[in-house]
A = this chain, B = another copy of it.
Amino acid sequence: VLYSTILAGGSGTRLWPLSRACFPKFLHPLTGTERSLLQATADRLAPLSSPDHVYVVTGTAHAAAVARQLSAVPDANILVEPAPRDSCAAAGLAAAVIAERDPDAIMGVFAADHLIGDQRGFEAAVRQATAAAAEGYLATIGIQATRPETGFGYLKAAGTVADGVRLVAEFKEKPPPDLAAAYVASGDYLWNAGMFVFAAATFLDELARYRPGLHAGVRKLAAAWESPGREALLARIWPELEKISVDYAVLEPAATGGRVVTVPADIAWTDVGDFDALGESLPGDASGNLVLGDKHRVVLRDVKDTVIAASPDLVVAAVGVENLVIAVTPDAVLVCPRARAQEVKQIVDELATRGDRRYI
């Protein structure tokens, strides 16, 4: 049975005003249903991991909300970081705690705030990755690139090691537009969606090789995890851990060493980066409008291809607009063309500059 670790961190400023420092996007129902992105992630993993095999790593600010949203996940599997230390510390802690409980564990690492349209394809890809992990590889799910996206990292696929499983020659940083176009044209590059499957022990060995300090820290914590000294130890060790992404710290050097594989997957994946991406990912109504949240308080008149994030307490009315984003919360309103949805980040920057911190 696969262990699944959900990394529930990050806020997602391009989904402001919905996504906030104190209420990040994974807690929101940005799924076209009542389920939050976090809950949808857990639902997606249910056929692969029973609830007692699901782990979540999250911060102090969101631990309570995470626990309530994922009521089937045992308390002991909700690992709360005293401070954000990026994904390597988070994945490392989960691997160390899981390995302490089950030394032979194979585990997946998944983001809490992505959408995947093709559930069967996802399950098949994870099963292939799990088989590769059992053979000692660090496996990633590589997303078939459908456009020359400059906002993602890429995996360069090399030789085939098994049916549907390829070696990863290299990790590539976010490319400029011409390079991204060349990547897509070659057919050998996949989007790095941050989904990994590996034996906990294998990952910890690689971590020990490339980041011995981080490895020692998470091992020490895991050894004391069930003891009364856990909180004091965590408070002492955690803030000293190196702040680095798991890709950069472990996967990239391991790939150079020939120990990383990828399962190319065409599974309607999106990282829900902004409101436009959300509109592309979820089905709209007959006019192409996507209404998130409480539809009963939305009044549209001759509106097309518009993404509306509604709030239960406010009426949202629109007349005669197209291709717009209208996002409403009880304390903020955003209006912006879908094509410029990425610029929402600058609004958050502007609010921060003004010192209006309660709105960000």
Contact = CB atoms under 8 A, between A and B. Distances in A.
Interface of A: 16-17, 297, 299, 301, 313-321, 324, 326, 328, 330-337, 339-340, 343-344, 346-347, 350-351, 356, 359
A333 B340 contact: no
A311 to B, nearest CB: 9
A17 B336 contact: no
11 contacts: A17-B317, A314-B330, A314-B333, A316-B333, A317-B336, A317-B351, A319-B343, A319-B344, A319-B346, A321-B335, A326-B335
A332 B316 CA distance: 6
Contacts of A332: 314-317
B337 A315 contact: no
Nearest to A337: B320
Contacts of A326: 333, 335
Given A299-B347, A346-B301, A350-B301, A337 B321 contact: yes
Given A301-B343, A301-B346, A343-B301, A333 B317 contact: yes
A332 B314 CA distance: 5
Nearest to A346: B301
B315 A335 contact: no
Nearest to A336: B319
Contacts of A337: 319-321
Count of identical protomers in the assembly:
2
Contact of A299 (B313, B314, B317, B350): B350
B356 A340 contact: no
A315 B350 contact: no
A336 B351 contact: no
Closest 5 A/B residue pairs (Cβ): A319-B336, A315-B332, A320-B340, A317-B347, A318-B335
B315 A356 contact: yes
Nearest to A310: B333
Nearest to A308: B335
Given A320-B339, A321-B335, A324-B335, 19 more contacts: A297-B356, A301-B347, A313-B331, A314-B330, A314-B333, A315-B331, A317-B336, A317-B347, A318-B334, A318-B335, A319-B336, A319-B340, A320-B340, A320-B343, A321-B336, A321-B337, A328-B333, A333-B333, A335-B335
A347 B298 CA distance: 10
Contacts of A350: 299, 301
Nearest to A318: B335
A338 B123 CA distance: 49
A300 to B, nearest CB: 9
Given A319-B343, A343-B301, A314 B331 contact: yes
Contact of A351 (B299, B333, B346): B299
Contacts of A359: 315
A125 to B, nearest CB: 36
Interface centre among A297, A335, A340 (most CB of B within 10 A): A335
Contacts of A334: 317-319
A17 B340 CA distance: 26
A333 B315 contact: yes
A314 B339 CA distance: 24
